[in-house]
Chain A
Amino acid sequence: ETGVTQTPRHLVMGMTNKKSLKCEQHLGHNAMYWYKQSAKKPLELMFVYNFKEQTENNSVPSRFSPECPNSSHLFLHLHTLQPEDSALYLCASSQELAGGTNTGELFFGEGSRLTVL
């Protein structure tokens, strides 16, 4: 396994279902991110974890619940979603260095395509 791996690649769920998206990074990075990509809209940053601590939550509805058990794994738990939540959910990682500097590069997974019926 290399890079950033996301599972499942495709997910169809009803509005009353509970499901989870999983992300695993094999790059030794210490920061992980969830982005939402909807058609014809800019990427929306949802959550950021640095050293397993959540540092960003951009007003994301509580029906999305992130979990970061260690620096290599990131989950997005989904509960009672709405049809407008259908989108591509992208996980990314980066290496945050001391002093807040890094290479400026995010490494993305291939995404999980979510359809809410």
Chain B
Amino acid sequence: AQSVTQLGSHVSVSEGALVLLRCNYSSSVPPYLFWYVQYPNQGLQLLLKYTTGATLVKGINGFEAEFKKSETSFHLTKPSAHMSDAAEYFCAVSERPGANSKLTFGKGITLSVRP
């Protein structure tokens, strides 16, 4: 069975600082990996995804993530945090191609950005 671990529930950074949100997964087959963002009072929006090919994936709003098979990780980074990045971030894994119905989400991490 697949699973996702997002350690901690809250990360706080200063504006302009590096953002690093950690995600580790377990999967019995090569996974599809996703990061979603949820702004207050909104639904989830796809930030980026890894399916096959290049392991460094670039997404919207300057975010990127790197798939590291040996570490079973898919950490999300952004070089310089902006106030508008404050939101909740969810990592998700899918084992079956095209199987959105089998997406397993992590608990989410709340990102706060200090002025």
A residues with a Cβ closer than 8 A to B are: 4, 6, 31, 33, 40-43, 45, 48, 50, 55-56, 90, 92, 94, 96-97, 99-102, 104-106, 108-111
Contact = CB atoms under 8 A, between A and B. Distances in A.
Contact of B98 (A41, A92, A102, A111): A102
A66 to B, nearest CB: 14
Interface of B: 4, 9, 32, 34, 36, 41-46, 49, 51, 90, 94, 96-101, 103-108
A90 B38 CA distance: 12
Contact of A41 (B34, B42, B103, B107): B107
Contacts of B46: 105-106
A43 B100 contact: no
B41 A104 contact: no
